[in-house]
Structures are given as structure tokens and as C-alpha cells.
Chain A
Amino acid sequence: MIFRILSFISIVILSVFITPLISLPIVLWYALRWYAPEIIVLGLIIDAFFGGTNGLPYYTTTAFLLVILAESAKGSLMIYHL
């Protein structure tokens, strides 16, 4: 549990300060490692703070798609059947 909390805090910091090209794979790993709907809320927080005037909540949408992708992939990945 502590590892998960520390990972989430790291993801929060990375999402705010590092380019999405680096943070996205880490978020995907996080979503594959655990069931992670909290990253949608993190996306919402980033969208609300930085992108209040944008037409679309890009981070929220991306986080949702990552969760969907990760959950769908879990059924096909060998590691989950060991």
C-alpha cells in the first residue's frame, strides 16, 4: 500500500513538471500494476488548474483512456495469468 501511495505521489509530481512523453508510460505502468481510477481524478485536477479555458479536458480524457487500455490489456497479458 505504501508503495502504491509513493508511486501515486511520484506520478502527481511527474505529471505537473515533466513532459507527458515521459509521464505517460509511467502512468500506464501504474494503471497496469493496480486498478487506478484515481488517475482520472488527477487528470481532472490538472485540467482544472491549467486548462480552465480549454475546450476539452485533455488530461482527464487521456487518463480515462489509459485506464480503459490497461484494464482491457490485463485480460490478455500473460503476467496476470501466472
Chain B
Amino acid sequence: MMNSRQTSNIKLRLIVALIIFIASVVFWRFFPTPIQLASENLINPLLKTESFLYNLTSQNQVDIDPSLKEELDYLRAENATLLNQLNSNEDGRIVAGVIGRPSALPYDVIVIDRGEQDGVIKDAPVYADQHRAIGFVATVYKNSSVVILITTPGFTSTVFVYGPNIYTTAEGMGGGVVRIHVPQGIDIKNGDIVAIPSLSSGVYGSITAVDSIPSRSEQYGYVTSDIPINSLRYVSVGKRPLTPISFEEARSTIDSARRELLQVPVPEGVLVEVDIEVATSTEETLEGDVREDEGEVETETNL
């Protein structure tokens, strides 16, 4: 049994905890800047250390691989990804290293090592490769930024599903999964490609599972990206913030993404293509030859 002194002691502790909680919520809601500065100084070094160790471990894995060719392929692939990210847009992008991944972090976000000093702005789209946007910058710090993913729980977006060719709403489920819900009767199936036009990127991923019970009025499709978020080492950040787009703009993005679906990134030297200028001059030459031939025929006929 507790005596009255112990009871009043516990009450006092609870009151102190309540006061700290209320003060914390008030600060978080109305004066977030000082707390964010403090949290940046505390959490950033932790994230950078973890990222350093992660990269060190990954590099060691390559070093211990006996086959040098595999290492070379790995470096080439990484180099190609970085070049792709740098040259992917006329406006240019900011390449950033990923120092925090959703599997380890609270709130299913990623943290990148570029911030205000590097020109990162709030609401800028974040890309995993040349065209694939995975989210947008939610908070910008001096040397880092927090990126909210499309898959972050509570994040909703308008998507287009190729196959049934419908627009619908998708909601983030966390863990790299987005869920779309459509009425029964619409034929969605595994492999249907899903695009998010508002992120100016087009294709996001494809449906990997369908949850359809005939007695229920709607069915769910679970969408994952082809690029595993947890293995991302670099991303690129757009230099312009996202802005709301009209339906016409969305449709245009979807059409352009549809065209890109047919294209395959073939390395330079492997792709065999006819140079357009050469082709045009050949055509002109052929036309000229035909005309000359026709002239000869006409001359012969005249004779």
C-alpha cells in the first residue's frame, strides 16, 4: 500500500510530465523552428554516421568480391545512374546522397544530405532516377532535408492506371507500398502500370497484388515501385517546387509517360540508329536520281 506521501509524489510527477507534454505540443505546433534547429544538430550527426557505416559496408562487399568484372559493372551502373540524374532535366537537378532510409527512420521518410546551403527548396520533387519521382521535400535544414515519400502513410495522390485506363486516388501505406481503390467491375490486375501525373514524372510502379472480394463494393490494388527505396544511395532533387496542375496537364503527362513506356535505355555503342541528317540527304539523293531517271526516260521518249 502507498502512503499519502508517495501518492502526492506520483501526482507531482504526473503533473510535471503533463506540463512538459503540453509545452512540447505547443512548441511543436506554433514555434517549430528552435526545436527543428536543435533536432538537426542532434539527429544529423547520427544519420551521417549511420550512412557512412552503411556505405563502408557496401564498398567492402564489392572489395571482397573475387570477380573484378562485377565490381566494374557495379561502378559503371552507379556512374550511369548519377550521370542520368545530373543530365535528366534541362533545368538541372541537385544530386543528393541518402543518409536516412524509411526502414530505419520514424515516419517513413528519407533524409538526404543536401539542404538550404545547396539550393534545396521546400516542395521540390525528388527523383530516384531520370523520370521516377518518389516524393517531395517536406522540410529543409541547413545541410539536410526530409523527403516525404508517395508511400508515406496519410499521403494521397491522384494516379492513372494503365490497362483499365482510369484515374483514381492512391494512398500511402508505408513500407514502399501505395494502395489504390477502385469500384468492383473495373479490371485491375497484377502488372498494370501506375503513373502519378502531379509529380511531373509519369510512371511510379506497377500493381503487385489485387485484393478483390466480390461481396465488397470496392477492390484494392497494391502498387510498388521497381526501385527499392531502401537500397537507394542517391536521389536527385528538382530545382522548382511542385505546383498544382490542371487535368489537361495531367493528361499530357500521362500521354508522354505512355510514349516513354515503349522506350528502353540502350547504352551508347549498342544502339544502332540511322542518323536523321544522313537519312534525309540519302532521301534527297534518291529523289534526285529518280528525277534524273525520269528525265532520261522523257528524253528517250522525245527521241
> What residues make up the interface of A, taking CB atoms closer than 8 Å to B?
12-13, 15-18, 20, 35, 37, 40-41, 43-55, 57, 59-61, 64, 67-68, 71-72, 74-75
Contacts and interface: CB of A to CB of B under 8 A. Distances in A.
B20 A41 contact: yes
Interface of B: 2, 6-7, 10, 13-14, 16-18, 20-21, 24-25, 27-28, 32, 35-36, 38-40, 42-43, 46-47, 50, 104-107, 109, 111, 138-139, 146, 148, 154
B112 to A, nearest CB: 13
A72 B2 CA distance: 12
B36 A40 contact: no
B139 A17 contact: no
Contacts of A47: 28
Most interface-central of B13, B21, B40 (chain A CB within 10 A): B21
Given A37-B13, A53-B148, A68-B17, 13 more contacts: A17-B105, A20-B106, A44-B28, A49-B36, A49-B43, A50-B107, A51-B106, A52-B32, A52-B36, A60-B25, A64-B20, A71-B13, A75-B2
A51 B153 CA distance: 12
A45 B13 contact: no
A37 B16 contact: yes
Contacts of B18: 64
Contact of B154 (A13, A15, A52, A54): A54
A16 B10 contact: no
Nearest to A59: B106
B146 A49 contact: yes
B105 A16 contact: yes
Given A37-B16, A44-B35, A45-B38, A50 B21 contact: no
Contact of B17 (A44, A53, A71): A71
Contacts of A51: 106-107
List 9 A-B pairs, minimum CB-CB distance, nearest first.
A49-B39, A48-B35, A64-B21, A44-B24, A45-B39, A50-B107, A52-B139, A67-B17, A17-B104
